[in-house]
Structure 1
Amino acid sequence: MLIFLILLVMAGLTYFVSNFSPESINFRRTQQGQEALTQAREALIGYVLRYREVQYAQGQPGQMYGYLPLPDLGTTRNNNTGCLVEGCDAANFAGNAPNATVIGRLPWNTLGIEPLRDRHGECLWYAVSGSHQRIQQAVPMNWDSISHLDVVVANDTAALASALAGAHDRPVAVIFSPGPPLPGQDRAAAGGDDVTRCGGNYDAANYLDPATATALGGVTNYLAGTNKASAVTDPNTPKALSLQGRVFDSGGNFLPNACQGGNCDLVANDVGLSLTGDMLFGAIRKNAYFRADINSILDRMTFCLRDQVAAGGFAPAAIGGFTPPIDKSAGRIPDNACYDATQNPLGYYDHYKEMIFVAKPNSGNFTVNADANCAGVLLFASQRSNAQQRVTAVQRNTLSNYLEGSNLVNFAGVGTAFGSVGGPVVFDRTPPQSLEQDIARCIATGATFSTVESPTLTAEGFGQLVAYDPGTRILTLGREDVTTGAGASAGALFGCAWFAESRRLDDGFRTYFRFQFKNVGGTVGANGFVFTVADALKNNLLVCGAAGSHLGYSGDNGSTPKIAFPKIGIEFDQSRNAGFSENADPTLSGRNDPCGALGGGTAGFPSHSAITYWSHEAVNAVDTVTLPDFDDNVHGFPTVGSLAGPRLPPRSHADPATETGIKCVNLRGQPAATDDSRLYHVRVEVTPTRNVNASAELSNTSLRTQVWMEWDPTLTGQLDAIRNTTRPMSLLYPAYAATPTLSDTATLYDVQEAACVSGVCPAGQACGTDGMCYRPALDRIQLGFTGSQRTQDQQVEIYDFFTTWLP
């Protein structure tokens, strides 16, 4: 037993000693050094992925993904008012300038990490290209931005040679492991700067090599100026850096890693790790917010161009050296205030317009993604393939460096077909999309809003209560002198407008618009309008509701199809129709409206805003409903206990004092009754959550609807957040997000369709225990506005409508 224990101890000692051999210790140190470099690179990528949101929170909206922090140049030189200690980035230090490449210590404090050290205990250093530094920003910033840095290597010749295949392979940043000091390098503290954590000093030449500027064939891992930390650079003559570790001078030739014989001088030992633009944007493309921004700007451009076509046309911007084929006008997207950098997503246009191409036929239509009703096409060229180069002006004006397949063939030559059957129309992560996948968007014929008019008003010689001007992009609901008092039929006073493209609800949407009730005939009117979310599988662009207190949302007008449930309405109601009553005259129907100075109202004005649904689906004795199509905007319906069974329609709120889905809002003329109303900014967020049940008829969607309304122009932070639909309000303005004007979470049961066939239903549907097929409510939606009039003139103007869809 004793012998066994002795042998066991000897084996353990042997293992312990072998693991502390010089070779194993050196290997472990090398591994730790490489891990530190990798961790630093990951921290830089993390900084970039958070950059736009962090800058927004600090009052700098519109900052682009891709910009990198400055190095830490020392507390006596950094000019970072928000970070004054060791490890902070230098910000706009004295001497910074456009295109300035900067080298210093890794700004670990700014990155939110601890100081990282190399295998010899030195804190890491860091170089950022003048093309990508965050303060003196180069434009554009995208995946084609060319770095000012080159990587060179020793290969047993008298000069170091570039290790890169082309300009797109250059690093936008390099993290350095400085290694032990070489003769001539002084790493003692110089005084003045806070070096509590990293020690030493901030002179780059004391850490990065060579110690003698001419010792590496003119290549240095430092620059000029104070502490050799910065210099203006450019992409045409990039700054060469040596990253391969030990380099020896042997008789005028430079050897990597090792050198035999007596004629060997170690002139460099820096180890560097590159962060390339492709690495950076590979990570950025995985960011859902970035993809939402790209898709939002493509949406905005597509619909702006659609309206421009409807208003008379647009002219593509010329491409140098390119003559469009005889059948079309073609070029890059032209500048326009409708989608420029001042529009959300802020800033993107200036940075990505170079890769957006548009064309329109000289006659007829294009076919885009199998849609033959396209007045034009918008092509987003996306990232480069391995064969594409976008470095020189000539390359950037060469279509084949941007477009592929039929998009290239038919854009550059005669042809009318673009994209492919089914798309894609959405910029997505890679995979599933290939890196260079073109995104083709149809610029459809007709304006972005399709109006639903009242045929009776036309027959009676009146103008319509709905109009959309694609030139100004203003939607108008209501019209002066079209009332019952002017002789118009009460039931004919309705009008609707639908956004001309339906979309899948998927993960929800965020919508923004402004509106104002205009003074016409001495008043802002006594009706209102509804922003409507309708089930596109049960409705179309021809539907509209009834006149009067139905606001074009509820009821059947007898001329057009009604707006079928399921649906959601955001109601802006000018008047108080107290109590509930059914009446053949739509001007007399009571809606259980709250608010108002008379009749027990709770405010000194009669107007309110509310979230509505569709109330009763059938006759109901408890609520005395005999016309279930006509109670969709009755507040408080269906009342609690009026219905039995699990598949109940959602209840609209009725009491502003106790319920969150309805609120008294002054929509009247301000400051006097004879003035226009306030200009209201509105943001609507709709967020679905699926609840699947084993019994398909009990599956449902929990739908959270939040609405923010603001009119005060001094509340700039709130208004900026309301307008920016690319981010959730909870991220943009957390405190304001907690107090929406309206909010409600409703349960929408799946819609019953046809009977199951042998227990099977069409794709997207499930067979219930009752033998019927069911699909999610609002699975595909159409957005629009509905309005009406009755005894008083009314005119509401709606501006700047935009929606961010969440795939």
Structure 2
Amino acid sequence: MRWLGRHERGATMMGTPMLRNTQTGIVLWLALFLLSGMAGVMLYIAHGTDPARQRAMQKTVAALAMAKQALLAYAQQPLGLTQCELNCPRPGDLPCPDRNNDGIAETSCSNTARLGRLPWKTLGMGDVRDGSGERLWYAVSERYKNNPRLRPLNLDTAGTWSVASSQGVIWDATQGNGVVAVVIAPMQPLMREDGWVQQRQEATTELAKHYLDLNGVIDHAAPQEAALLGFVMAPNSIHFNDVVLPITASQMHQVMQKQVLAEVKRSLRCVALPCNSYPSPASYEDSSCLGNLPLNAGQCLSVATSIGRLPLDVNAHWSWAVQHLLDGHPQHHWFQQNGWREQVFYVPGQSQTSIIVAGERLSGQVRDATTDKLHLRAYLEASTLLTLHVQEAALNVQSNDMLDRVSRP
């Protein structure tokens, strides 16, 4: 079963007719896709448009959907078993944009370099283009870019781009509800609202104003990250025809959550007989398990409890398990570097061990202070605890936790 988090619930609001325009060529907003678990992208089709224009819009929609799929797939690349240093690949990583139109992501994207074209070669996809024949553009959140990485990156990490509609903000980065990436189809060249005439030729390929439009105070060619003036989903007009598709934090978090669950499950699997019992978890009330700083001997220890967090393994791997992510040293693995121990819970059993990756925080769940994080209710919902036969007060809402089990042979 798939559950929607608070960010994605905001995205599904776009399914209502919020953006009606009564000007010439009335605009009708339609939900065109629900593809591979992605939230519907809202695009517009002008009443009475000719078949050629409709075909162009269909091609644009397909291109944006392909780009979104490719970015989400990139964010869950295999992480491998080997140790690394401080800049470890991790769940949720996104490439930097392509800044010189060669299809390859730049090696770094600090400051204003987080807007450019979609790096289609880096993503392993074809030279996908919108219905006007233009390559797609792309902006990545500073918290999700893969170089230089900002840590931690986990399910409590919000996106940093705001996306508005013509009638108000839908995703607001200033309120912790930003999106992690935006893909933009530039469509045909036009005269922007500021009088700039777009000219698309070899000499202008790297200048965003020749491709991206202005809508009121929101300039797609110069978006402001972590502010209200990011991007806008607005009806087509003589001065604006960009088509915007956001990747929400909830959509990304579901991908990250699934990958972390698979990685933890693999790392706890017994691969050498005899398979001993799994050790007791660390207490969820043990504050030494929190954060992304190094864990030292004597911290985050196994205790006699039914449910808790993954304990510190000072030997870097249990003798009968594969090399894994529990040594507690942030220079050795993405798991500790990004504070995932806070969000992964563990219930050992005689023949089967349960692993739970908590979903992103829901309304009513507080994870701000250390004391907030020492309660199961800050992470797990009532239905999850009931499944685990754990008696603990928690939110009685639809759960967004993911649970799996590891069995001993």
TM over 0.5: yes
Q: Is 2:100 the counterpart of 1:74?
A: yes
Task: Give the counterpart letter for 2:122 in structure 1.
Answer: T
Alpha-carbon distance between aligned partners in 1 of 2:290 and 2:73, rounded to the nearest angstrom: 36
In the alignment, which residue of structure 2 is the partner of 1:382? 358
In the alignment, which residue of structure 2 is the partner of 1:106? 118
SS in structure 2 of the partner of residue 67 of structure 1: coil
Aligned residues of 1:388 and 1:402 also touching (Cα < 8 A): no
Alpha-carbon distance between aligned partners in 2 of 1:395 and 1:27, rounded to the nearest angstrom: 55
Task: Give the counterpart letter for 1:436 in structure 2.
Answer: D
SS in structure 1 of the partner of residue 121 of structure 2: helix
Aligned residues of 2:85 and 2:332 also touching (Cα < 8 A): no
C-alpha spacing 1:119/1:24, structure 2 compared with 1 (3 Å): same
In the alignment, which residue of structure 2 is the partner of 1:87? 103
C-alpha spacing 1:26/1:419, structure 2 compared with 1 (3 Å): same
1:114-134 CA-partner distances (Å, limit 9, x unpaired): 222222221111111111111
Alpha-carbon distance between aligned partners in 2 of 1:240 and 1:26, rounded to the nearest angstrom: 27
SS in structure 1 of the partner of residue 122 of structure 2: helix
1:103-145 CA-partner distances (Å, limit 9, x unpaired): 1111112122222222222111111111111111121222332
Structure with greater strand percent: 1
Alpha-carbon distance between aligned partners in 2 of 1:299 and 1:133, rounded to the nearest angstrom: 31
Q: Is 2:134 the counterpart of 1:122?
A: yes
Q: Is 2:302 the counterpart of 1:276?
A: no
In the alignment, which residue of structure 1 is the partner of 2:14? none
SS in structure 1 of the partner of residue 79 of structure 2: helix
Q: How far did residue 168 of structure 1 move?
A: 6.8
Task: Give the counterpart letter for 2:73 in structure 1.
Answer: G
Task: Give the counterpart letter for 1:164 in structure 2.
Answer: W
Q: How far did residue 150 of structure 1 move?
A: 1.2
In the alignment, which residue of structure 1 is the partner of 2:211? 207
Aligned residues of 2:278 and 2:348 also touching (Cα < 8 A): no
In structure 2, the gaps of 5 or more residues are: 1-47, 271-275, 292-303, 316-325, 391-397
SS in structure 1 of the partner of residue 64 of structure 2: helix
Alpha-carbon distance between aligned partners in 1 of 2:121 and 2:100, rounded to the nearest angstrom: 12
Task: Give the counterpart letter for 2:262 in structure 1.
Answer: A
C-alpha spacing 1:103/1:378, structure 2 compared with 1 (3 Å): same
SS in structure 1 of the partner of residue 103 of structure 2: coil
Of 227, 240, 248, which aligns to 2:230?
Answer: 240
Q: How far did residue 89 of structure 1 move?
A: 0.6
In the alignment, which residue of structure 1 is the partner of 2:336? 349
Q: How far did residue 390 of structure 1 move?
A: 6.1
1:714-747 CA-partner distances (Å, limit 9, x unpaired): xxxxxxxxxxxxxxxxxxxxxxxxxxxxxxxxxx
Aligned residues of 1:51 and 1:63 also touching (Cα < 8 A): no
C-alpha spacing 1:392/1:121, structure 2 compared with 1 (3 Å): farther
Alignment length (residue pairs): 317
Task: Give the counterpart letter for 1:244 in structure 2.
Answer: A
In the alignment, which residue of structure 1 is the partner of 2:50? 23
Alpha-carbon distance between aligned partners in 2 of 1:346 and 1:403, rounded to the nearest angstrom: 25
Alpha-carbon distance between aligned partners in 1 of 2:362 and 2:383, rounded to the nearest angstrom: 19
1:336-364 CA-partner distances (Å, limit 9, x unpaired): 74524559993212320222469xxxxxx
SS in structure 2 of the partner of residue 274 of structure 1: strand
In structure 1, the gaps of 5 or more residues are: 1-20, 76-85, 156-160, 192-199, 225-230, 248-265, 321-326, 359-367, 372-376, 410-417, 422-432, 442-502, 506-807
Alpha-carbon distance between aligned partners in 2 of 1:124 and 1:407, rounded to the nearest angstrom: 41
Structure 1 length-normalised TM? 0.33
Output the aligned Cα RMSD. Answer: 4.8
**Relative contact order, higher structure (CA 8 A, sep 6+):** 2
Aligned residues of 2:359 and 2:401 also touching (Cα < 8 A): yes
Of 74, 96, 102, which aligns to 1:47?
Answer: 74
C-alpha spacing 1:202/1:164, structure 2 compared with 1 (3 Å): same
Aligned residues of 2:86 and 2:330 also touching (Cα < 8 A): no
Q: Is 2:261 the counterpart of 1:291?
A: yes
In the alignment, which residue of structure 1 is the partner of 2:148? 136
Q: Which has the larger radius of gyration?
A: 1
Alpha-carbon distance between aligned partners in 2 of 1:220 and 1:395, rounded to the nearest angstrom: 42
Aligned residues of 1:105 and 1:202 also touching (Cα < 8 A): no
1:445-476 CA-partner distances (Å, limit 9, x unpaired): xxxxxxxxxxxxxxxxxxxxxxxxxxxxxxxx
**Pairing 1:370-409 to 2, within 5 Å after superposition:** 380-384=356-360, 386-387=362-363, 397=373, 399=375, 400-405=377-382
Alpha-carbon distance between aligned partners in 2 of 1:434 and 1:48, rounded to the nearest angstrom: 23
C-alpha spacing 1:406/1:180, structure 2 compared with 1 (3 Å): closer
C-alpha spacing 1:51/1:356, structure 2 compared with 1 (3 Å): closer
1:481-520 CA-partner distances (Å, limit 9, x unpaired): xxxxxxxxxxxxxxxxxxxxxx443xxxxxxxxxxxxxxx
Task: Give the counterpart letter for 1:220 in structure 2.
Answer: D
Aligned residues of 1:102 and 1:128 also touching (Cα < 8 A): yes
Aligned residues of 2:383 and 2:399 also touching (Cα < 8 A): no
Alpha-carbon distance between aligned partners in 1 of 2:220 and 2:381, rounded to the nearest angstrom: 40
Q: Is 2:226 the counterpart of 1:221?
A: no
Alpha-carbon distance between aligned partners in 2 of 1:100 and 1:396, rounded to the nearest angstrom: 35
Aligned residues of 2:74 and 2:93 also touching (Cα < 8 A): no
Task: Give the counterpart letter for 1:179 in structure 2.
Answer: M
Alpha-carbon distance between aligned partners in 1 of 2:309 and 2:281, rounded to the nearest angstrom: 18
C-alpha spacing 1:115/1:370, structure 2 compared with 1 (3 Å): closer
Alpha-carbon distance between aligned partners in 2 of 1:220 and 1:130, rounded to the nearest angstrom: 19
Q: Is 2:185 the counterpart of 1:177?
A: yes
Alpha-carbon distance between aligned partners in 2 of 1:439 and 1:419, rounded to the nearest angstrom: 11
